[in-house]
Amino acid sequence: MMPKTASGPLDDIAFLARSEHRVTALDAVADRPRSRADLRAKTGASSSTIGRTLRAFEERSWIRKNKNRYEATELGVFVAAGMRELVGRFETERKLRDAWQWLPDEVGSFTIEMASDAVVTVAKADAPYCPVNRFASLLRETERFRFVGFDIALLEPCKDELRRRIVDGMHTEIIDPPNVAKYILSTYREHCSAPLESDNLAVRVHDELPPYGISLFDDRIAISCYNQDSGIVRVLIDTDSPEAREWAESTFEYYRREARPLGLELVAE
């Protein structure tokens, strides 16, 4: 029997989306058969509301009643899976909405799907160092750190943490533009000397690096983007997605193959 109130797919989407308990109820029944009491406890909806919802599901052939339990039909399972995917997409979009403007177009091979489970840290007017603080917390939890890109505003505030971790044994490889490497070495010569002498730090330079940073930690990777006018890090996106890890590893190796070891002339200047 076709539902009386629905005239097209958008009507069914709207029917589900208008109430969170409907999405939850259909998802629960798609997972396994449920009683009405189970669904009331799962959704927090009243008995009368659950009753109306179940009748609407039955009208659409999404569920059927088997004794005192409701079970999803193949149609119901199909709709529930599609709704989960749709909700997941919008959750990812909302997470990235404030950050997306800071991602340069060049990050073309980093897909939105890679950020579905990411932690997105955006600098706010009242908390401008949130991305840097998040980066520092990841740095403290890794035994190997690699970085490629252009992000003085990310690495410079963490110079003390970087120095300590490298001297303590964190294997580190950084690929910088020559002017950034020169700036860091000349400005923070004392900070750099011990890490370079420890053999735990390798610095390479590359003339054409992307206008963002890629950090590789033991268990996560991160993308950092900064405002080119102010130099402030605007967003840090970090994830343990295998697809994102593969992208980061591939990108790092691409630039590493073309990078050259830190020149002695930079160290001496």
CATH code at 98-268: 3.30.870.10
Greatest pairwise CA separation for the chain in angstroms: 83
2 band by pLDDT with thresholds 50, 70 and 90: very low
Q: Where are the domains of the chain?
A: 9-91, 98-268
Residues 238, 108, 98, 232: is their CA dihedral positive or negative? positive
For helices 36-43 and 47-59, what crossing angle results, to 10°? 110
Residue given tokens 């983007």 in the structure block: 225
More confident residue, 65 or 193: 65
Task: Specify the CATH class of 9-91 in words.
Answer: mainly alpha
Q: Is the pLDDT of residue 168 over 80?
A: yes
pLDDT for 106 equals 61
Which phi and psi angles does 217 have, rounded to 5°?
-105, 180
The pTM of this model reads: 0.77
pLDDT for 148 equals 94
pLDDT for 103 equals 73
108 band by pLDDT with thresholds 50, 70 and 90: low
pLDDT for 107 equals 64
Q: Average pLDDT for residues 143-152, to the nearest whole number?
A: 89
196-234 pLDDT, tens digit each: 888 898 999 999 988 889 999 999 999 998 876 776 888
